[in-house]
Structure 1
Amino acid sequence: MSKILLFGGGGHSKSCVDVIESSGEYEISGIVDPFLKKLDLPFELINKEEPYEFLRRTIDNALISVGQLKSSETRKKLYSKLKEYKFNLPIIQSKYAYKSKYSEIDEGTILMHFSLVNSYSTIGKNCIINSKSLIEHDVEVGDHCHIATGAILNGGVKVGNETFIGSNTVIAQGKCIGNHCVISAGLFINEDIPDGKTIKRRS
């Protein structure tokens, strides 16, 4: 079994561990987080600054296990750093997720439990496709995106780079969501959203 390092030891990492263990493809060698003093999970905590060169000597694979809400910057910077040191960033798929053989997913993306990626969809690099989210046919999701729990992207939806789609939000068929957008939880989006827009629920 190949070894893998997780970069980020917060709440999202706990879900990532569960997904990795369900897949049975990788053995977790440790969790890298320079901001933590203690780890809740039963793995080695590596909290040194800039440990990349040292770790890369013995381990090839890495997953970014930092979560993403309003901004993708932390995940994007980690992605660039790991690429600089030539880590392999595999696609991680839960045993309980479904990915059509006609879909395409790029490196570093994780498909969480019971997520579904339907035919002729494409998902970019370093994305989180979270639990019970639905990516329908012909959907395009850019790089460094988070499609949160229970979100639904209906057929032909396009999502730009570095965008967050909140839990249980539904994007209507064929709509386009721009780059750097934040769409709050529990919304129905039936219009195109331009780059950089934040859409919140009305109180």
Structure 2
Amino acid sequence: MKPVIVLGGGGHAKVLLDTLILQGHNILGFTDLQSQASIWGIPYLGHDVEIEKFSPKDLVLVNGIGAVGNNSIRKKLFCFYKERGYSFASVIHPTAIISPRVVIGEGAQIMAGAVVQADVHISGNVIVNTRASIDHDCRINDHVHIAPGATLSGGVHIEEGAFVGAGAVVIQGIQIGTGSIVGAGAVVIKDVPKNRKVAGVPAHMIG
């Protein structure tokens, strides 16, 4: 395995560092826009520009930027370093339950206790957060964040950059449009157009 640098030093980055340690990765350090102390002895390397001192051939990156309702910064960082030839490691917690018939894209992150069933397609730079459940035949496009405890029934399609909040439930066959936000605890029973916010039980448009 190539050495790893984690982008970011916040809460999501700490969860990823914990998983990487558990898996025995060689972690060179982490970057952040604000000065940081080391985390569990893992060194703070400085701002993100420090990454370009390393050749893309010599390491892989892990995107440690979390997103609560806004995936744009996470997407921007991923695309910036991809354009410069860097690769992103997918991080999968050993307690996640994943069918062998799942497709997992570059830089995807599947956290502790998540369940991903057969014929799910998870694209690049996706977060499937703690204890989220994704049932059969779902398609999760690039830069999506499925927050802790969210449940997607079979055949759900989440388009690029959308966010599904903690504990939300999306019934079978629903499509969530590009850039849309599903509020925490919502129950989605109708398709959500792009760039909309929905919340409630059943979910309705807000804002």
Same fold (TM over 0.5): yes
Letter in 2 for 1:63: V
Cα deviation for residue 201 of structure 1 reads: 3.7
Distance 1:53 1:133, change over 3 A: same
Q: Structure 2 CA distance, aligned partners of 1:161 and 1:33?
A: 25
Aligned partner of 2:4 in structure 1 is 4
Q: Is the 8 A contact 1:145 1:163 kept in 2?
A: yes
Cα deviation for residue 29 of structure 1 reads: 1.0
| Structure 2: runs of 5 or more not aligned | 202-207
Q: Structure 1 CA distance, aligned partners of 2:111 and 2:98?
A: 11
Alignment of 1:124-203 (within 5 A): 124-201=123-200
Distance 1:173 1:5, change over 3 A: same
Q: Structure 1 CA distance, aligned partners of 2:96 and 2:157?
A: 21
Alignment of 1:1-203 (within 5 A): 1-24=1-24, 26-48=25-47, 50-56=49-55, 59-201=58-200
Letter in 1 for 2:126: C
Helix, strand or coil: the match of 1:83?
Answer: helix
Cα deviation for residue 185 of structure 1 reads: 0.7
Letter in 2 for 1:88: S
Residue identity over aligned pairs, in percent, reads: 28
Q: Is the 8 A contact 2:4 2:28 kept in 1?
A: yes
Q: Structure 1 CA distance, aligned partners of 2:155 and 2:56?
A: 43
Q: Which moved more, 1:74-83 or 1:168-177?
A: 74-83
Q: Which moved more, 1:68-77 or 1:169-178?
A: 68-77
Distance 1:87 1:57, change over 3 A: closer
Q: Normalised by the size of structure 1, how large is the TM-score?
A: 0.93
Cα deviation for residue 23 of structure 1 reads: 2.8
Q: Normalised by the size of structure 2, how large is the TM-score?
A: 0.91
List per-residue Cα deviations over 1:21-66 (Å, max 9, x = no partner).
2333x22110011223434442110223522320336742110001
Q: Structure 1 CA distance, aligned partners of 2:153 and 2:38?
A: 38
Letter in 1 for 2:72: E
Cα deviation for residue 154 of structure 1 reads: 0.4
Moved over 4 A (4+): none
Q: How many residues align?
A: 201
Distance 1:148 1:49, change over 3 A: closer
Q: Is the 8 A contact 1:34 1:46 kept in 2?
A: no
Q: Is the 8 A contact 1:23 1:93 kept in 2?
A: no
Q: Structure 1 CA distance, aligned partners of 2:109 and 2:22?
A: 13
| Structure 1: runs of 5 or more not aligned | none
